[in-house]
Structure 1
């Protein structure tokens, strides 16, 4: 009972609307010390070339990142998911979910733990992240992790959907395939990551027919801006008609954004850390344009504004996230 009450309290604190985003925006835009965040960004031809050539190195940066944070303490388990996205709590048996950018498993773990009838496919561009996630899942109290959790390596911003998820033929005809329970032995991809057995039945020979849900939680902000549209297209393509995408990411004027120095800007509202990983900060308009421009229907879109208190330093920090829910038309 104590654990349950603690979780409920944590969720309430995490999701409360502690301040108004418009008031925060007014404060930031009228404070001279933050003026460089508001300036247009013009990339020189040389920096543009470096920017494009560095794209292929993204996975190395994230490999190093996850290796440094291998204890798993860097990210907290996201227990708020079922409150923010209640569709997860009411999903039917053999529902298929794709977590894009699984990191260390902080999104995958609570979903597998609290919904025993869901099949989770988790991808990341970092093999180090996939190893960490697999370790976390297998060390947890998740029921039947080997048959319900399928990790694989995929960079959704640079390559097409793996054909075993949804093949070109099925994607073009938009079939309403049956949800098949793929519990057969798995095989390994080129990176040694477990893949589902797609030969379990005659109907699943070409692919598994797409996803019922896609979770995109603090992932899109790490993708270079010039590749975001292509990444969202892949999210749209992998969903079944009527499927839902759950989105949460860094919002404009979040505390993290304001901590970046002027020389860390690599684009408008886009920054690079010292370890070469990137972070972009979304406005509602930017997120809306990205998803609706791809064909999604907007179900929910809002700022989540939370005050975080550092008791040791006696400092209050204003955190901003963008919460969104988008549907693929039937």
Structure 2
């Protein structure tokens, strides 16, 4: 196995996973900036539910919803155009919550022969791609590990992953449907086409292309990205991504949970449909429930490794403010058995 860098900051090695700091005495609430797994009482849950019902009662018209859907890329381009490189900040919790992002911790996935027709299709899509090595049909074909981040933005996840894994056998693909965001990734001083391949793609559009064949990826990363897609497309997006995973490959997921502070703060006229909202800048966000995600991933044939709700109480000690955050973190794996199922079904067809 190729060598993997262990040059991780000492504070990262010592950082505990979410869910280890508990508030046992409410009088101590302002002693720390955040508390984990804060249990809501029945009244708080009911108030949150009532707030979302009031928001939904003033949902935008179908025409307005359609406009935000068709112009989604425009709004995200504007977003990254306004924030530019100031938006970039490292996600220090990545390797604590997702140790699979370090190649040395990755369970070896199945090596399978990629369908020749898939290779030809990818080769056709990449024939004018200057980042593809002359000896490769597609960029990263010769890599031992292949990661893919969907909705990469300006590279908040991509570059920490590339920097931590100082491994020539790793190729990190990343896409966003914002050309502006992808442009910032490619302009980053650490962008190396031999180790990272960024491209524009709307993963919710089945006509959009990717530069790798099916059954070729070890890890797919989805961090606060599925929530930006229309809820009607959730199932098809996860189903499509599953096809690109090797048997044994994994999807790492983190996104907004139901009744997060961000959801409860929306005013009237910002609700598109149930639990789906549009921000003032035109970008959209959905708030998930555990069982809802479980059904989506399992419908794609994936095995559940983790599906947890991270309820955090963040506080502003100076202003004595309490902010209740809710996130959901998941890990789902493509069963190795799917390889045999697909081969046997193709033999009978």
TM-score, normalisation: structure 1: 0.75
Equivalent of 1:227 in 215, 233, 236: 233
Distance verdict in 2 for CA 1:25–1:262, change over 3 Å: farther
Residues 36-51 of structure 1 mapped to structure 2, 5 A cutoff: 36-38=51-53, 41=56, 47-51=61-65
Gap regions ≥5 residues in structure 2: 1-7, 22-34, 109-142, 337-349
Determine which structure has greater relative contact order: mean sequence separation of CA pairs < 8 Å that are 6+ residues apart, divided by chain length.
Answer: 2
**Aligned length in residues:** 277
Contact kept in structure 2, 1:42 and 1:267, CA below 8 Å: no
1:13 and 1:311 map into 2 onto residues whose CA distance is: 23
Alpha-carbon shift at residue 164 of structure 1 (Å) = 3.7
For residues 153-182 of structure 1, what are the alpha-carbon distances to aligned partners after superposition, in whole Å with 9 as ceiling and x for unaligned? Answer: 11011234626411xxxx4xxxxxxxxxxx
State the secondary structure of the residue aligned to 1:146.
Answer: coil
Match of 1:299 in 2: 305
Alpha-carbon shift at residue 151 of structure 1 (Å) = 0.2
1:224 and 1:148 map into 2 onto residues whose CA distance is: 31
Contact kept in structure 2, 1:96 and 1:213, CA below 8 Å: yes
State the secondary structure of the residue aligned to 1:102.
Answer: coil
Residue 283 of structure 1 pairs with residue 289 of structure 2: yes
Gap regions ≥5 residues in structure 1: 172-208
2:56 and 2:319 map into 1 onto residues whose CA distance is: 34
Match of 2:199 in 1: 152
State the secondary structure of the residue aligned to 1:12.
Answer: coil
Match of 1:121 in 2: 173
Contact kept in structure 2, 1:302 and 1:324, CA below 8 Å: yes
Equivalent of 1:28 in 33, 44, 62: 44
Contact kept in structure 1, 2:179 and 2:200, CA below 8 Å: yes
Alpha-carbon shift at residue 75 of structure 1 (Å) = 4.9
Equivalent of 1:76 in 89, 94, 108: 89
Residue 64 of structure 1 pairs with residue 78 of structure 2: yes
State the secondary structure of the residue aligned to 1:35.
Answer: helix
Contact kept in structure 2, 1:25 and 1:253, CA below 8 Å: no
1:88 and 1:242 map into 2 onto residues whose CA distance is: 15
1:262 and 1:35 map into 2 onto residues whose CA distance is: 13
1:49 and 1:96 map into 2 onto residues whose CA distance is: 40
Contact kept in structure 1, 2:36 and 2:310, CA below 8 Å: no
Alpha-carbon shift at residue 290 of structure 1 (Å) = 1.3
Residues 233-248 of structure 1 mapped to structure 2, 5 A cutoff: 233-248=239-254
Match of 2:156 in 1: 106
Contact kept in structure 1, 2:75 and 2:282, CA below 8 Å: yes
Rg larger for:
2
- Let me know the Cα RMSD of the aligned residues: 2.7
Contact kept in structure 2, 1:121 and 1:149, CA below 8 Å: yes
For residues 289-330 of structure 1, what are the alpha-carbon distances to aligned partners after superposition, in whole Å with 9 as ceiling and x for unaligned? Answer: 111122211110001122323344332322211000001121
Match of 1:86 in 2: 99
Equivalent of 1:253 in 259, 264, 268: 259
Alpha-carbon shift at residue 40 of structure 1 (Å) = 9.1
Alpha-carbon shift at residue 245 of structure 1 (Å) = 0.3
1:28 and 1:16 map into 2 onto residues whose CA distance is: 23
Contact kept in structure 2, 1:243 and 1:327, CA below 8 Å: yes
State the secondary structure of the residue aligned to 1:71.
Answer: helix
Match of 1:315 in 2: 321
2:256 and 2:20 map into 1 onto residues whose CA distance is: 17
For residues 228-287 of structure 1, what are the alpha-carbon distances to aligned partners after superposition, in whole Å with 9 as ceiling and x for unaligned? Answer: 122112211211121100000011121111111132111111111111111111110111
For residues 178-221 of structure 1, what are the alpha-carbon distances to aligned partners after superposition, in whole Å with 9 as ceiling and x for unaligned? Answer: xxxxxxxxxxxxxxxxxxxxxxxxxxxxxxx5211100010001
